[in-house]
Amino acid sequence: MPESLRDIVARSLAKNPADRPTATALLDMLIRPGAPVAAPIVPAALAVPAGPSAPADVPEVSAPERPRRGRILTAALAGATAVLIGAAATAWALTGKPETVAAETLPQSMNSSAAAPVAQSSRKPAPSAAAAGASRRPSTGSGGAKPSEQTPAPSGTPESSTAAKASGQTGLPLARVADGAAVQSQPYFVRNLAVGHCFDLEWYDKGRPDLPVNQFACRPTEPDNQEWRFVPRFDADGYHLYWIQNIDDDLCLDPLGVGSVESGSKLTEMVCYEEDNQEFRLEPKGTSGGLRYFWLRNVASGLCIAVASETEGDQLILDSCEAGDDRRWALLTKTDF
């Protein structure tokens, strides 16, 4: 404790009440250390009488209330002093010890050649407090373009199903089919290369509209809600687009609203709509550990599905499509683990 505060404490707790500073003097000592302090005024009731004692026949006037009130005032003053001193000491301690916040660890770079580890966890977060039931979605309007018309298909020839099967993964959704036939995919776990987590819904049961789609440790050997089918939705050039639909509740992966969204927008589940922003394109982005990885690009916004952190239970987001393992996803069946 600073020397100035020790002096104030000592004077405030003086044995003789007459030596203690008044509340005004105490405040001046705290605000302006070193300033002269006026001599304390001794209450008349506490002053030592001078001269001879009063005659016996004069009735003595007792004033018990004033000394008691003085003692109460003294106790209150001591309490206020302790509070002010404690606050001053706390402020001094805080200003002398700033807290250091560690920087968040960034995901591993795109150049990593090792396959992402499968994260393990025994618990999942509790269900969200969001209300159940589908919320009303805004109308697309009479002049709104279909999401599949807003982002052009990638240039060049898409990878064929033969190349997909060569990776060892079975039944991957087709990037393009010559006749435009709709081929239903089998269920997949969608696993991120950077953190090794899979698409996941809260708790273990069916999701509900407007509840978040998160990342969590992949659980291929236990009952859960982590499997998704890719429902074909091809564009005018024959490139397949997809609804990403959960097999337990038949709801689709969904950005907010019905059109383009900003980078960082979070993903939820919603009833699958014909003209909406729920269509995604699979863009092959190399192999790692014998598995093929994709960008999952939202057609309406041109953004890719990404993880926002390495934390289990964090909600998935849409972010710019650029180099980084946090945007690369593998589609795995239970037998691929």
Contacts of 160 (CB under 8 A, 6+ apart): 175, 176
Domain boundaries for CATH 2.80.10.50 within the chain: 160-336
Contact between 282 and 327 under an 8 Å Cβ cutoff? The reply is no
More confident residue, 263 or 34: 263
Provide the mean pLDDT of the chain. 69
pLDDT at 277 > cutoff 80: yes
More confident residue, 130 or 189: 189
Tens-place pLDDT, residues 63-102: 444 444 444 444 444 555 554 455 444 443 444 433 333 3
Q: Is the pTM of this model over 0.75?
A: no
Contact between 77 and 12 under an 8 Å Cβ cutoff? The reply is yes
**pLDDT value, residue 79:** 55
pLDDT at 310 > cutoff 80: yes
pLDDT band for position 173 (50/70/90)? Answer: low
pLDDT at 56 > cutoff 80: no
**pLDDT value, residue 185:** 81
pLDDT at 278 > cutoff 70: yes
**pLDDT value, residue 82:** 54
- Cα distance between the two ends of the chain: 62
pLDDT at 179 > cutoff 90: no
pLDDT at 163 > cutoff 50: no
Best CA proximity match to 307, nearest among 293, 287, 327: 327
pLDDT band for position 330 (50/70/90)? Answer: very high
More confident residue, 266 or 239: 266
**pLDDT value, residue 254:** 97
pLDDT band for position 296 (50/70/90)? Answer: very high
The single-letter code of the amino acid at 1 is: M
Top mean-pLDDT range of 81-90, 163-172, 226-235:
226-235
**pLDDT value, residue 302:** 96
**pLDDT value, residue 197:** 98
pLDDT at 194 > cutoff 60: yes
Cα distances (Å, whole numbers) of residue 49 to 44, 63, 64, 67, 95: 9, 15, 17, 15, 51
Distance from C-alpha of 273 to C-alpha of 275, rounded to nearest angstrom: 6
Distance from C-alpha of 202 to C-alpha of 54, rounded to nearest angstrom: 88
Distance from C-alpha of 71 to C-alpha of 202, rounded to nearest angstrom: 62
Tens-place pLDDT, residues 9-43: 777 777 777 777 777 776 677 666 665 555 555 44
pLDDT at 284 > cutoff 80: yes
CATH (residue range 160-336)? 2.80.10.50
pLDDT at 47 > cutoff 50: no
Give the pLDDT mean for 272-296: 94
**pLDDT value, residue 86:** 53
Lowest mean pLDDT among 111-115, 214-218, 298-302: 111-115
